[in-house]
Structures are given as C-alpha cells and as structure tokens.
Structure 1
Amino acid sequence: LRLDEIDAPLLKEFETYLFSSGVCANTVSFYLRVLRAIRNRAVRDNLVEPSPLLFSNVHTSIEKTRKRAVQENVILGLVALQLLSPALQLARDLFLFSYYARGMAFVDLAHLTRKNIVGDKIVYIRRKTGQELQIRLMPEMRKLIARYQYVSGPYLFPVLTGSRPDYIGYQSALRVQNKRLKKLGKMVGADLSTYIARHTWASVAAQKGIPEELISQGMGHESVKTTRIYMAFLDTSRVDRANEIVIHKKNCKSKPVCKAVL
C-alpha cells in the first residue's frame, strides 16, 4: 500500500477494523498516531502532498487509563492458594514473580534465561525501551526460580518453546497466561491479568510511602508521568480522615487527628 493511496475512507475502515478486533481505544489511537507520524515524515521529505484534515475523523486522542491495580491482600491470597493444577500454579508463580521483580513486564519475564542471573541479581534489557534493569534476587524470587529448575532449554520458566520463539509464539503464551489468571482471579475475588502485577507493585509502593521518583526508577520508566498511570492509590483512609475534619472539626491545626492526616 502506497502512502499516497491512504485516504479518509480507508483510514475509517482501518479504525473500524481495529475496534471490531477487540483492542481498546488507546491502542486504536496508538496505531493511527503511528501511521500519521509516518505520513508526516513523508510530507517533510516531499514524498506525498500535505493533507491536514486526513486524520480528523478517526480516533487519535488518548483516554485516561483505567487503574488496574489490586490491593495487597489479593497478592497474599494468591500466595496462600493451594493449587492442584500445575498450569494454574505456573500462572500464579509467574504473576507473583512479576510482582516481586518490581512489576516486571510479562514479555521480559517470559524471555528471562539463566544468563540473566548475574550474581545475586537479575540483569535484563527491557524489550519495550531497551533500558537495562538490575533487580536484586529476593528469597521469594529465588524460591520460584528453584521450583522450575527442571525446565530444559535456556529459559527460567516454561513459557516459551524453542531457543528463538517468534512473535506468534509469545502472543499465544500471553493469551494462555491471561486465561489462567482469569481463573485464579475468581479464586481470590479479583480481576487479574498480566498487567495487574505491574500496576499493583507501583500502587502498593506508593501506599507504603515510597517516593514517586524511586518507583519510576524501579519500573524502568523514563518519566514520573508514566509511573502515575500505574498508581491506583487504593488506600483512601487519609482522604476519609480529611473529610471527617472538614465536617466535624473547627480548627485542624490543633487536633492530633489533623497531624495524622497532614
């Protein structure tokens, strides 16, 4: 398809196709904005004629991301589950490892090999950004790795097959993991997916008073703004106490409860 063949009706068809395939609005916007950026580059290089209104009738805005963290007690519930199914146990272990590893993305977790263990750390390159991250191995992480020592091949966990799995193979593994997490979620009363572990680590860290900058660094984000998307701030107790002060207290500064809030 040539760039000069892309017109408004074709873009609308593409948008309709994306929505009908089940992807979220922000994903549709991402694909269309990438396509727009490519065409703008072609305009700058005098390869196609400018068309300022070409993308005006398709979805290119960014919607606020729905918070996808769960409360810490859900993590504890997963740890306590007595699972008879090896498949569900693997899904649970992968989810917990992601959480313990500062919210490691599933794509990075799936591709971890024994070579990524360097001394007492896991050292890996984020596939999304190319950034190197180092994570000290906590006892909980070592226990999960040891559980799958039997795995043949280079990988730490039995997620991918073959020494060089293709993209389709990874997508299949991702679908299987999310399907299993749905089952686990029903057992602990939560909606679980591979994204949840990452969002939850950021949210729990924030609730425990860890500075945003440190959370951002731990997750490998280039901007604190990105980190804030992951934070759910599930604990509203301080806000509730502040509301109590507004309704029942006349002078906040002199009351002990105010000091707790502030």
Structure 2
Amino acid sequence: MGKTTDHKDSDAGVRVILYKSKTLADGSHPLMLRITKDRKRKYISIGESCQLKYWDEEKNEPRRGHPDRNRIKETIRVWESKYAKAAKDLSQEDTPFSATTVASQVAKIIRKVKVFSFVEEVIERFTREKRLGSASTISTLRGALLTFEKAENRSPENLLFTDLTPAYLDDFRVHLAERGLAEISMAVYFRTLRQVYNQAIKRRLVAEKHYPFKEFKISQFDLRTRKRAISKADIAAIAALEVSTPRLLLAKHLFLFSYYGAGINFIDLANLTHKNVQGGRLTYERQKTGHLFNFKLSEPAKAILDYYRPFTGAGADEYVFPILERGVHVTPLQIKNRIHKKLGQMNKDLKELAKMAKIDVVLTTYVARHSFATALKHAGVATAVISEAMGHQTESITQTYLASFENELIDEAFDNL
C-alpha cells in the first residue's frame, strides 16, 4: 500500500491517522479516522492502536516490522473506504453536509450489518491468520445458529446484530437444550457468540447500546461436570502400569507428563521441542492464548523426556514427543489434522489404561490437568489462586496462576506432585 492521502470525494477528507495527542497505557497511540469538511474535523476510533516506532509517518501506515501489519492495513482500508463512500453519497444529494453528517450516515448503514456475513468474514480472517482452532469453533457456532434460524422458519441471511436481543439469546438457549446439549457446551456457544459480537462492536458494525450480554449472562450455565480429578494414588497406579504396546506407553507417558507439567494440554505437548526444556525447566507459549509458562520439571517428568530423546533426536528444534514429524506435518492444516487424530487415539487408549489401573473415572487428557490443580490445592497453594481457575468458571484465571509458576511457592508445590 503506497502513501495514503485524504479521499477528496465530495470535498470531504477521510483518512486514518496515528492520533499522537493521546497515549494509551501500553505506550501506543490510537488509530483514529479523521473526517475533514469545511475545515472542521471529527475523529472516530477504529479500535486499533500502534506504537510510534512501528508507524511510518511518510506512508501513514504500519512499518514492515509491525507484527500485525497486514491486518491493520486491511482494517485501515476498510474504514477509509466505508466513510469515503458515505461522503461521496452525501455529496451526490446536492445538499450541505458536515463531518458529523458523514459519521451519522455510516452509523445508519452499519445498523443493517448481517450476522452471518460478518461471521463468514471472521472465519475467513482467522483462517488466513492460521488460527484454525478459533475458525473451527466459530464455524460450529455458525452451524448451530443456522439450524436455529431454519427451525424458526426465518431467513438466516436477514439476521441482524440488532436482532440478537436477550430474548433471542434465551430462545437460542432453549433450542440448544432441546437438542440435548449440556450446559457446559451451551456456554461455549454463547462465549463464542459474545466474542463475535465484541468484534462487531470494535469495528463499529453495531452500537454498544444493543449489546445483549449485559442482560443475558453466560454465568447462568451450570459448568460443573462429573468428577475429573483423580488422586495421587491413582496417578501412582497409572505410573506403575506395565503396558504391552508402544501406543499405550505413549498415552501413559503423555498423561503423566501433563500431570507433572502443570496440566499442559495436548496441543502444546505435541508442539514441544527440546529448546523448550532448559536448565531443568519447561518454558513454552500456550498455543491457544499466547501466554508464556515457565516452571521447573519434576524428576518423573525429566525421566519421561529422557526416555523419548533417543527416538526423537536431541536437536533443539526436534519435537519432544513422537506425535508430529518434521517434513511430514508442515502446513497448519496438516498439523491440526495430525493432532486431532492422535488426540482421539490417546483418549481411547486412556480408557484402556483406566481399566487396567481400576480407576472409576472416564480418563481423558483433561483429567491430568484437573488432577494437577487438585494436587496443588492439597499441597497448600492458596484456594484463591487455583480453585476458581480449575473449577471451570473461566480459563483466564487458570492462565493467570500458571503465568506465575516461577515463584517459589509453586516450585515447592511441584515437589508434592
């Protein structure tokens, strides 16, 4: 994208600028759409910001070194085009108008933004950004909404964001319940829909006053599930199992490593390389959230790593566990499909291991995570730190306590696993 200039359609200038008169908490400056008409200006936030060092003043766009350059450039293009078109349309009416009138004209248009059209945009954008998990989750939500609209004999293509009232959401909830969805699954649908709605607000596609989640609370769902944690005695029973196949042995080791390793989930297990293991500590960035975790490894965890080193190689970039293969699983889709396949195999194998160990719990990869949290609780880690985090209320609390695993209290607790 070359140097941008104010769109001069209809004698009104429309341009996104770095608004240096305001500095945000992180030191960045907001990107503002500036509408200029008859020497008067109106500024509108586009919901993005940029550090000064990443902004090219001459070209009026993010520099090449900006980590999110392409997305922000596209956002700028969309905003400038939308408001320039509104200004041009007003000029053709041959009546006086102002910068404020241009903003009001766009506000009238965005009230008619269709939900399914925007959802498709979000799915496409996440796919381009290789956020395939998020794209898949939103695609599943799209399917559920589509089924609901058709069940109500409505035309899905006409659904507006302003139609998503608290009453609409409650009807959707009843529809999902009638289909037999558990409340924990319904909560996922509504959290995803809330995420989409928040993005629509951020992009000024719907006014915040229409936001339905102030009244429709996701906290209404009962997120309690059947018992998922197992005791330290059960963990010991699994560790003591003699298994007959390499596949069962891998399932056993992955489950135990997740327990010993702060409840690390399967996707992150699959992506671990030897460079994540340094000085007796495991440091990695969670695929789902981008949070950096750093904690010491227990002796049993080290023993599992040592077992696989001869098979996977010792290079820093070699995978720790034999789940993914360099040169075979290369593209994001190949990696996603491989992990999905191996996760299914592992959960099937864990059921066999549970029978062998006489554990009366449906053993899954998540049980290791839950059992880890319970062990920490029994080890004396403050309930305020972990009880809510692993009680399935929100994941953000889980991330918060895992992010501080370097502190001495947590390190001591690892010795009690």
**TM-score normalised per structure 2:** 0.45
Alignment of 1:76-225 (within 5 A): 76-149=236-309, 150-151=311-312, 154-161=318-325, 162-163=329-330, 165-190=334-359, 191-212=362-383, 216=386, 225=388
Which of 31, 35, 40 matches 2:193?
35
State whether residues 32 and 60 of structure 1, in contact with CA within 8 Å, keep that contact through their aligned partners in structure 2. Answer: no
2:5 maps to 1:5: no
Query: What is the aligned partner in structure 2 of residue 221 from structure 1?
Result: none
1:9-34 per-residue CA deviation (whole Å, 9 max, x = no partner) reads x98789968996x9743233222332
Distance 1:205 1:43, change over 3 A: closer
Q: Is the 8 A contact 2:176 2:186 kept in 1?
A: no
Q: Please state whether the residue corresponding to 1:210 is helix, strand or coil.
A: coil
**Gaps in structure 2 of 5+ consecutive residues:** 1-115, 119-157, 394-417
User: Is the partner of 1:2 in helix, strand or coil?
Assistant: helix
1-structure distance, mates of 2:366, 2:382? 22
**TM-score, with normalisation over the residues of structure 1?**
0.68
Please say which of residues 40-49 and 158-167 is displaced more in the overlay: 40-49
Contact 1:15 1:28 in 2 (8 A): no
1:65 aligned residue: 224
Q: Can you list the C-alpha shifts for 1:194-238, whole angstroms capped at 9, x where unaligned?
A: 00011111112222333336x64xxxxxxx6324449xxxxxxxx
* Aligned partner of residue 225 in structure 1, secondary structure: coil
Instruction: Return 39-48 or 10-19, whichever deviates more.
Output: 10-19
Q: 2-side partners of 1:132 and 1:92: how far apart? A: 26
Structure 2 Cα separation of the partners of residues 200 and 142 of structure 1: 19
- Cα gap change, 1:35/1:100 in structure 2, threshold over 3 Å: closer, same or farther? same
Q: Match for 1:157: what amino acid?
A: F
What displacement does 1:173 show? 1.8
Partner AA of 1:2 in structure 2: S
- Which amino acid in structure 1 is aligned with residue 389 of structure 2? T
- Larger relative CO (CA 8 A, sep 6+): 1 or 2? 1
Contact 1:65 1:229 in 2 (8 A): yes
Which of structures 1 and 2 has the bigger CA Rg? 2
Structure 2 letter corresponding to 1:65 = R
Per-residue deviation, residues 89-114 of structure 1 (Å, max 9, x unmatched): 11001001111112222221121111
Which deviations, in whole Å up to 9, do the C-alpha atoms of 1:164-213 show, x marking residues without a partner?
A: 55322222221111111111111122221000011111112222333336
Judged with a 3 Å threshold, the aligned counterparts in structure 2 of structure 1 residues 51 and 108 are, in CA distance, closer, same or farther, namely same
Would the alpha carbon gap of residues 13 and 227 (structure 1) be closer, same or farther in structure 2, given more than 3 Å must change? closer
Greater fraction of residues in strand: 2
Superposition CA RMSD, Å: 3.7
Deviations along 1:52-73, one digit per CA (max 9) or x if unpaired, are 779x99x884323224101211
Structure 2 Cα separation of the partners of residues 114 and 138 of structure 1: 16
* TM-superposed deviation, 1:151: 2.1
Farther-moved stretch of structure 1 (94-103 vs 121-130): 121-130
The amino acid across from 2:335 in the alignment is D
Give the aligned partner of residue 205 of structure 2. Answer: 47
Question: In 1, distance between residues paired with 2:253 and 2:263?
Answer: 13
User: What secondary structure sits across from 2:322 in the alignment?
Assistant: coil
Partner SS state of residue 389, structure 2:
helix
Distance 1:17 1:64 in 2: 15
